[in-house]
Structure 1
Amino acid sequence: MSSLAAPQSGLIRQYLVLTKPRVTQLAVFCAFIGMFLAVPGIPDLNRVVFGTLGIWLLAAAAFAMNCLIEQEVDARMLRTARRATARGTISSTQVIALSGLLGGVGMLVLYHLVNPLTMWLTFATFVGYAVIYTIILKPRTPQNIVIGGLSGAMPPALGWAAVADTVPAEAWLLVLIIFIWTPPHFWALALYRRHDYVKSGLPMLPVTHGQQYTQLQILLYSVALLTTTILPYIIRMSGVLYLSCALVLGAIFVGYAWQLYRKYSDALARRLFRYSILYLSLLFLALLVDHWVTLLI
């Protein structure tokens, strides 16, 4: 019994890794925050539950397809070489079946238990990431993460649509914040993993334009990010509590980027990458807390 359970457990874990659970969790968290910002009070909990489930399933399906499409590239990179698709321990047919099952169930959940708008927006996000970004942009241009970043920035709009049946300007502002956050976040990773990207053959910015140019771009995007995160306060979408958090979190982000620009090290690039994940989580949490505090006042 135990000898059979171990391989099955290992296989399930390999499938789970293909869905990139950590990245999926961050995307779903941003969608979840969008749901609670979409209405003045507590949103419809059925929509929250099923909207979260459907968005998670389609995000997981997109990441699984990404792993399948990039299996040869992943096999050449130390960071991704242990993925089941890169090692060939899970076949292409199995990955397609996994992605199809997750995506299909996710679309049914969103269409029937949330609303068609959220389903179509989430499906468009799936196509944008799995097809436009992974197949067309990533192997062809060093600006892949900038152009393709829109699909990764969509979760707040998806969450907003799930609850409000519409996507107003406030939701797109949240999308803009993640869109501008994505390049410095990902380029920090690409810097300390640049040797991996040389092996991969992908035209990542540190490979095509060099380390110093990438450091400058990270700094410029970090300043742009700090400026953009002030906009929710300017349009009265949020209050002083959020503004204070945005300024402190953004100043730390810019500080890391400035240090990286002045005196590069892989350790510092790694710290910036890790902080960028914490930054986005705390920023969106600050939006939610400010939203509730404003309601109570």
Structure 2
Amino acid sequence: MNNSQQKALTELFAWRDYLELCKPRVVAVMLLTAVVGMCLATPGLPPIGIVISATLGIGLMASGAAAVNHVMDRNIDAKMARTHRRPLPQGRIDETRALLFAAFLSLSGVAVLIIWTNLLTAWLTLAALIGYALIYSMLLKRATPLNIVIGGIAGAAPPLLGWVAVTGQVNPDSLLLVLIIFAWTPPHFWALCIHKKDDYARAGVPMLPVTHGEQYTRLQILLYTVLMVLTTLFPFMTGMSGLVYLVGVTLLNLRFIQWAIRVYRGKDTAAPMAMFWFSVKYIMWLFAVLLVDHYIISLH
């Protein structure tokens, strides 16, 4: 392999490292809920220009927040088996370049939202970015085992952002979407924390299984699952959604409860991680069912 080929290969992997800073899988789920929020905000299809600009702006800012999180967590990541191969702990990208990259993404996202979407969406997205990248990553994650509960509000914002992008205002239905993700986040993330408890303990992060033990965390997962199930019924109870949603979310909830019970019993060591992966699919399917139900209602 000659020098030019080696340089091209190095640049290719550098781009992959920068892409990894954006946490593309996490951002993809966030953007799905944001787009559903846009669709639910109007009886018909939302304006395609708004969908494109809002998705781009929210995605850029979410990616910027993720990159800041990589910088804030670089020392923690270096001590954890799950994250020690990330670009910063491995030295493939330094802190300055990562922060400049995050700033470029975030400022670009703000500009897109201000110019082509609306000012309220830009401000709310900026607030979510600050909440995740600074308040959660710098303070809450290191300060309290309730970090994911308190900080979860920032991660729950995307459907609200999508809704506001279309309507220019916040209303109760949009806040219901936030509430669903807010209630879903603790059982989703604590399942992962049980599986990675030793990693978090080694890194000195006060996640619930580290500070209060596994059995207490398993109980909290079960209790928060019940809370989440009740929360997911609100769209039907308020008339926001119809029977299609009720049937779909009931089936999803029954499966989620099954996993929560298996985790609570503690007999299956693979259950926490399996529940974590199911919970990712759960939130995507829930918003997909919300979307299908919305357009069935609109047709009638």
Q: TM-score normalised to the size of structure 1? A: 0.99
Q: CA deviation at 1:14?
A: 0.5
1:40 counterpart residue number: 43
Shift of the 38–237 alpha-carbon distance from structure 1 to 2, 3 Å rule, reads same
Shift of 1:3: 2.2
SS in 2 for 1:86: coil
Q: Structure 1 128/264 Cα, relative in aligned 2: closer, same or farther at 3 Å?
A: farther
Read off the aligned partner of 1:179 and give its amino acid letter: F
Structure 2 vs 1, CA of residues 269 and 14 (structure 1 numbering), >3 Å: closer, same or farther?
A: same
* Pairing 1:262–2:282 present: no
- SS of residue in 1 equivalent to 2:103: helix
CA RMSD of aligned residues (A): 0.7
User: What letter matches 2:52 in structure 1?
Assistant: V
Cα separation, 2, equivalents of 1:264 and 1:220? 18
Pairing 1:79–2:82 present: yes
* 1:187 pairs with 2:190: yes
* CA-CA distance at 1:190 after TM superposition: 0.4
Which residue does 2:214 correspond to in 1? 211
Query: Could you tell me which amino acid in structure 2 is paired with residue 75 of structure 1?
Result: A
In 1, the alpha carbon distance for the partners of 2:251 and 2:66 equals 32
CA distance in 1, matches of 2:269, 2:19: 29
Aligned residue among 219, 238, 243 for 2:241: 238
2:109 is matched with which residue? 106
CA distance in 1 between counterparts of 2:52 and 2:102 reads 21
Measure how far apart 1:186 and its partner are: 0.4
Deviation at 1:263, TM superposition (A): 2.9
Match of 1:190, as an amino acid? C
Task: State the distance in 2 between where 1:253 and 1:166 align.
Answer: 33
Consecutive unaligned residues of structure 2, counting only runs of 5 or more, are none
Distance 1:167 1:89 in 2: 42
Deviation at 1:167, TM superposition (A): 1.3
Aligned counterparts of 2:5 and 2:287: Cα–Cα separation in 1: 43
- Could you say which residue in structure 1 is the equivalent of 2:280? 277
Instruction: Say whether residues 1:57 and 2:60 are aligned partners.
Output: yes
Q: Given the alignment of the two structures, is residue 16 of structure 1 paired with residue 19 of structure 2, yes or no? A: yes
Q: Matched residue of 1:266: which SS?
A: coil
* TM-score, normalised via structure 2 length: 0.98
CA contact (8 A) 1:191 1:266 kept: no
Secondary structure (helix, strand or coil) at the match of 2:143 reads coil
| Contact kept? 1:206, 1:213, Cα under 8 Å | yes
Q: Mapping of 1:32-181 within 5 angstroms?
A: 32-181=35-184
How far apart, CA to CA, are the structure 2 residues paired with 1:264 and 1:17? 35
Separation of aligned partners in 2, 1:161 and 1:81: 38
CA distance in 1, matches of 2:213, 2:260: 16
Structure 1 distance, partners of 2:165, 2:267, is 43
Q: In the aligned structure 1, how far is the partner of 2:21 from the partner of 2:82?
A: 13
Aligned length: 297
Specify the code of the residue in structure 2 equivalent to 1:209. Answer: H
> What's the CA shift for 1:127?
0.2
- Using the alignment, how far apart are the partners of 2:79 and 2:268 within structure 1? 24
CA contact (8 A) 2:262 2:268 kept: no
Map Cα deviations across residues 183-203 of structure 1 (whole Å, 9 max, x no partner): 000000000111111111000
Q: How many percent of aligned residue pairs carry the same amino acid? A: 45
